[in-house]
Chain A
Amino acid sequence: GAVVSQHPSWVICKSGTSVKIECRSLDFQATTMFWYRQFPKQSLMLMATSNEGSKATYEQGVEKDKFLINHASLTLSTLTVTSAHPEDSSFYICSANNALAGAYTDTQYFGPGTRLTVL
C-alpha cells in the first residue's frame, strides 16, 4: 500500500514551453502533497506544500507564478512549470502523507520522480 505515482517519468521540452507533471496517490487519500526538486548529488529541496482544495504554500525563493500547483482532489496534485528554461532542468519529486495517519512525523511516500530537460 501507500503508492505514489508520477507522470511523466521524463520529459524533454523546448525553452519557453510549459510542462505539467502529475502526482497521484494510488491507494490512499492525501490531503497534503509536497513537491521537491533535486539537482545531481544534492539534497531534496522542498519547493511547495500542496493542500487539497486550497492554495499551495511555497518555500522562500520559489516563484509561485512559474511553478503552478493545483491539488484538485485527495489523490491528485499537479505541478506546471511555465515558460520553462534550461535552468529549470532538474529531477522533480512529489511525496504525500497518508491523510488518515495525519502529521508530518508520519512516513512520506515519494513518487518515482520526473526528469525534466529543457533545451
Chain B
Amino acid sequence: SQKIEQNSEALNIQEGKTATLTCNYTNYSPAYLQWYRQDPGRGPVFLLLIRENEKEKRKERLKVTFDTTLKQSLFHITASQPADSATYLCALGRGSYIPTFGRGTSLIVHP
C-alpha cells in the first residue's frame, strides 16, 4: 500500500535561515502533491500544489520541488520567521482519488 513519510522529529532552526522539509513516498505515482500548514488545534491551510510534470513551484518565500524519480518533495521556507512555526503536511493525490496526507513535520523557528 502507498506510504507517505515525513520526518516525525521537529525541525529547529534559527530565524532568517532556510527551513527544508521532506516528504517521501513509496508504492505510489501521484499526479500532484500538496503542502499544507497546520497550527495547533486548527485545521490545515493550503499552501502550494505541484503537479507531476512540474519540477519546482514558488510562492513568495515558499518553494516546493517534486522529484518523481526519487519519489520525494522538498518544501523550503526562506528567511524563516518565528511566525512560520507550525506543522507542515504533505498530501498526495491522483485523478479522482482523494489526497492522502502524511503525518506532518513540526517546524520551530527560534528568534
Cβ-defined partner of A49 (8 Å) among B44, B51, B98: B98
Interface residue count on the A side (C-beta < 8 Å): 24
Query: Interface of B with A (CB < 8 Å)?
Result: 4, 8, 31-32, 34, 36, 41-46, 49, 51, 89, 93, 95-104
Chain B positions within 8 Å of A105 at CB level = 31-32, 49, 51, 93
A41 to B95, CA, bound (A): 28
Which of A41, A91, A108, A111 has its CB near the most chain B CB atoms (within 10 A)?
A: A108
Q: How far is the CB of B18 from chain A (nearest CB, A)?
A: 25
Shortest distance in angstroms between B8's beta carbon and chain A's nearest beta carbon?
8
Cβ–Cβ contact B103 & A104, under 8 A: no
Check if A41 sits within 8 Å of B103, measured CB to CB.
yes
CB distance from B86 to the nearest CB of A (A): 14
A→B interface (CB under 8 Å): 4, 6, 34, 41-44, 46, 49, 91, 93-95, 103-105, 107-113, 115
Q: Enumerate 26 A-B pairs (CB-CB under 8 Å) in ascending A order.
A: A6-B43, A41-B103, A42-B103, A43-B101, A43-B102, A43-B103, A43-B104, A44-B44, A44-B101, A46-B98, A49-B98, A91-B41, A93-B43, A93-B44, A94-B43, A95-B43, A104-B98, A105-B49, A105-B93, A107-B34, A108-B46, A110-B43, A110-B45, A112-B42, A113-B41, A113-B42
